Structure 1
């Protein structure tokens, strides 16, 4: 099991800080209540002075999407979409305990958090520019092909587990009721990313331990150490 960012992607986005977490034994409901409400309240505090578009974390992703040729108001990173939902609807929908935890941490830190069922991603994932022949599965069950040079999370079977980098995950490896092993990817581009990403990983590790009694393996990836492997 591995996660790696391609050299080309890192060269194009040199401020990227990526955190990775692998955990087992996270099936079923958590044994204690998780601090989801507190995390969402932290996000609401961030939004007191304006919309999510003004946050430095989100501005950094908007600049990255613009460099990739994507209109940032049409294609938003996952954290921006969640913050927008929280601001306009007042709360986030309950999906699955692990997804709810990831979403709450994502809005609290304004950083995209991707959670993959580790049993459904083959031997691992490379975050890279697409060739255009990869297969992407929507949550509605339709198959798509990413555009050439679009950033995807690709496995060794030619499947794309996310499109437009942090914009949209795939149905291939979404967390399910029978999920027990997970790979979590946290990515940021803003100035404080080298501090915020490790802090988010620490909060994830603590929540998984308290909620499921699960031990975690984590790493912060850099250009010198671009690969996480279990």
Structure 2
């Protein structure tokens, strides 16, 4: 399997950096509460509101560049932060998702957790050509408009909407998930350092809590492809 961004995405967003982790053996339960709490404490320690964080502001600019109103359509990290601050906690979904959501809060960057078996093929982050099909978590099929950045599998399938907005049903983690690709993406100045550190922390957690077999890379323009 190969994960990469298109040349056009790198040209349009030269500050892009992605920390990627592949992990096998994450299907069972794991005691993530302590790690989740540690990530959340770091998020609570920040004094800025999410709209003041440069990592979030960079994503807002990217959404505007794709033709979306940033205060209507938000990246996954901003949506998580807004819900978390309002409710004081996030719902527990799956130990791995809970861990990655907490890491997203701590670093204020989107973190996607992709079921490798559910996708079953290469992923290219690219501008949509129009007509790609996205299946949401309820099973509803949406057709993507041209110009929107998506996680594309081949020519016709999109596994995300608005780049780091929503994931498809097939790519989401479920009870049968055993192998995942975790992708943390930043667009702000210094993003490479942030997403690289985030990926390293998650890799340590996966090894310690699940005993997972992992590999990791930083995609920063010089390195653009992750294969496993």
TM above 0.5 = yes
Query: Mapping of 1:1-230 within 5 angstroms?
Result: 1-30=1-30, 33-46=33-46, 49-156=47-154, 158-230=156-228
The answer to whether the 8 A contact 1:25-1:181 is kept is yes
Secondary structure at the aligned position of 1:217 is classed as strand
C-alpha distance 23-157 of structure 1, shift in aligned 2 (>3 A): farther
Secondary structure at the aligned position of 2:177 is classed as coil
* TM-score normalized by the length of structure 1: 0.95
Secondary structure at the aligned position of 1:35 is classed as helix
- 1:223: Cα distance to partner? 2.2
> 1-side partners of 2:227 and 2:156: how far apart?
20
Deviations 1:57-91 (A, max 9, x none): 11111111112211110111110000101111111
Unaligned 5+ runs, structure 1 = none
Secondary structure at the aligned position of 2:60 is classed as helix
- How many residues are paired up? 228
RMSD: 1.3
> 2-side partners of 1:75 and 1:147: how far apart?
15
* TM-score normalized by the length of structure 2: 0.96
Unaligned 5+ runs, structure 2 = none
The answer to whether the 8 A contact 1:20-1:183 is kept is yes
Deviations 1:126-154 (A, max 9, x none): 00011112110111110011111111001
The answer to whether the 8 A contact 2:32-2:95 is kept is no
Deviations 1:81-136 (A, max 9, x none): 00101111111110111110110000000010000000111222000011112110
Moved over 3 A (4+): 31-34
> 2-side partners of 1:141 and 1:134: how far apart?
15
The answer to whether the 8 A contact 2:20-2:184 is kept is yes
